[in-house]
Amino acid sequence: MRILCWPACLLLAALALTGGCSSQRTETSSLPAAKRIILLTNGNSPFWDTARAGLDAADDDLQLERDGFEAVLEVNDGTPQGQIDKLKQFASQRDIVAVGVSVIDAANVAVADEMKKLQDKGVHVVTIDSDVDRDKLRDARFAFIGTDNLAGGIELGTAARHLRPEGGQYVTFVGRTGAQNAIERVSGFKQGAGDKFEALDNMADDLDRTRARDNVRNAISNHRGLNVLVGIWSYNAPAIVDVVRQLNRRSDFTIVAFDAEPVAIKDMEAGFIDAMVVQNPFEMGYQGVRLMKALAQDDKATIAEMLPNSEGDGGDIYDTGLKVVVPDEDSPLQADLFGEKTEFLQLGDFKNWLAKYGLQGS
């Protein structure tokens, strides 16, 4: 059986080498007794890489190491069970002082219960990017940091309404329909698009990118009147564009989407996306760490600065802002069509903004 030994040993050596590399990094990054501030994602996407850049920037700017803290991004596997398991794991570790959660399902009581248990143990909990159901589970976290997703949905709907004044039929594509950000964006899109637009379907892919493409193919095949394709989560835009490109049917659809993955930016450059509503994950990561550190240090001044009206209605929300991005000056969309708080950018300006922070997407 000697013949079997060499390739297996080669692979084992490679695995050990890789493991060694990663453990070396972990050792150096978790120096003595640093208290951890954790950002737990809902799934995996370049969106979170940008949030990580914000987290790292906050780590430097706010001098976390000096104050005995360390900011860490933990990536969930895209399932509620994965998020519950991670939160349970956090509860068993004494070095964690604050957790920011991008809640995978707004109404998931099990996730909210784990967040409450963390709070009971003295760990500060906030939500980032996607909140819990604010009517029923608000007490599961201290505050929400992220986009006003309803407003974002309205802006995207407004863009669709002006791109297609005669109205249309649309399908929304999303990872999980139960996520609070998805619920609010879809609802906002309906409001912004107005009565001339009819919702045909809201299709979930459970974060499977192949399934995301299948959903677009099925929607196009099943609904003859479909003429507006709406990407709700970041990877939905590239999925929509891939299918439309393969079918060579660009002229049949208006394509609008949330977020700007690196591939989506290329797609807009190539003329395949009409408008993107872009969040600011960099700011979510940065401000999330800032608030969690302030909570851990009981820094009331910073908390009051970030949430000046924390007792009032909606005062527990820190809005990280929105951008509407259009391909170029020939777009029928103009800045005055959108809300005052929304930044309106052409793609070139948006790319300059990304370059300023060393980002590939947002």
Partner 1 sequence: MSPLRPKAFPLGWLARSEAGLGLAVVAVVLLTLLFDQQRTYYYLPELSALDVLRHTSMLGIFALGAAIVIISGGIDLSAGSVIAFSGTICATLMVFLAPEAMQKAEPLGAGVIILAVGGTLVVGFLIGSLHAWLITVIGLPPFIATLATLVGLRSLARAVIENVTLHAFGARTTQIQIFDQQFRALTTSVWLRAALFLMLAVAAWVLLSRTVVGRHLYALGGNEEATRLSGIRTDRLKWLAYALSAMLSSIAGIFYIGDQSVADPQTLARGYELNAIAAAVVGGCSLRGGIGTIPGTVLGCLFLRVVIDGIAKIIKTGADVYE
Measured CA to CA, the distance from residue 243 to residue 228 in angstroms comes to: 14
Give 317's strand partners: 144
| Distance in angstroms (rounded) separating the CA atoms of residues 87 and 104 | 12
Q: Which is nearer to partner 1, 68 or 262 (CB)?
A: 262
Of positions 38, 40, 45, 351, contacts partner 1 by CB under 8 A? 45
Size of the site for partner 1 (CB under 8 A): 58
Contact flag: residue 355 with partner 1 (CB under 8 A): no
Write down the least CB distance from residue 59 to partner 1, Å.
13
204: contact with partner 1 by CB under 8 A? yes
Residue whose tokens read 């947002």: 362
Q: Based on CB atoms, which residue is closest to partner 1, 198 or 343?
A: 198
Q: Which of residues 221-250 bind partner 1 (CB under 8 A)?
A: 221-224, 235, 238, 242, 246-247
Residue span binding partner 1 (CB under 8 A) among the ranges 14-22, 62-70, 140-148, 327-335? 14-22
Q: Is residue 360 a contact residue for partner 1 (CB under 8 A)?
A: yes
Q: Given phi > 0 = left and psi -120 to 50 = alpha, else beta, which region is 204?
A: beta
Which residues have C-beta within 8 Å of that of residue 202, sequence separation ≥ 6? 171, 172, 174, 177, 186
For residue 38, the cross-strand partners are: 72, 99
77 binds partner 1 (CB under 8 A): yes
Of residues 69 and 233, the one with the C-beta less far from partner 1: 233
Paired strand residues for 203: 173
CA distance 248 to 30: 51
Distance CA 51, CA 66 (A): 22
Beta bridge partners of 278: 323
Which residue lies nearer to partner 1 by CB, 78 or 152?
78
Q: Does 74 bind partner 1 (CB under 8 A)?
A: no
- 30 scored as a contact of partner 1 (CB under 8 A): no
> Among residue numbers 256 through 285, which ones bind partner 1 (CB under 8 A)?
261-263, 266
Question: Which residue's CB is nearer to partner 1, number 57 or number 137?
Answer: 57
Instruction: Find the part of the chain contacting partner 1 (CB under 8 A) among 62-70, 72-80, 250-258, 275-283.
Output: 72-80
Binding flag, residue 28, partner 1 (CB under 8 A): no
Alpha-carbon torsion 49, 53, 58, 60, what sign? positive
Q: By C-alpha distance, which of 294, 357, 353, 291 is closest to 323?
A: 353
Q: Structure tokens of 226?
A: 């479909």
Q: Quick one: which segment of 6-14, 103-111, 136-144, 292-300 binds partner 1 (CB under 8 A)?
A: 6-14
> What one-letter code names the amino acid at 113?
D
CB atoms < 10 A from the CB of 163, how many? 18
Nearest to 101 by CA among 63, 75, 69: 75
Between 106 and 264, whose beta carbon lies closer to partner 1? 264
The least CB distance from residue 196 to partner 1, in Å, is 20
Q: Which residues bind partner 1 (CB under 8 A)?
A: 1, 3-5, 7-8, 10-12, 14-15, 18-19, 21-22, 25, 43-46, 48-49, 52-53, 56, 75, 77-78, 200-201, 203-205, 207-211, 213-215, 217-218, 221-224, 235, 238, 242, 246-247, 261-263, 266, 358, 360
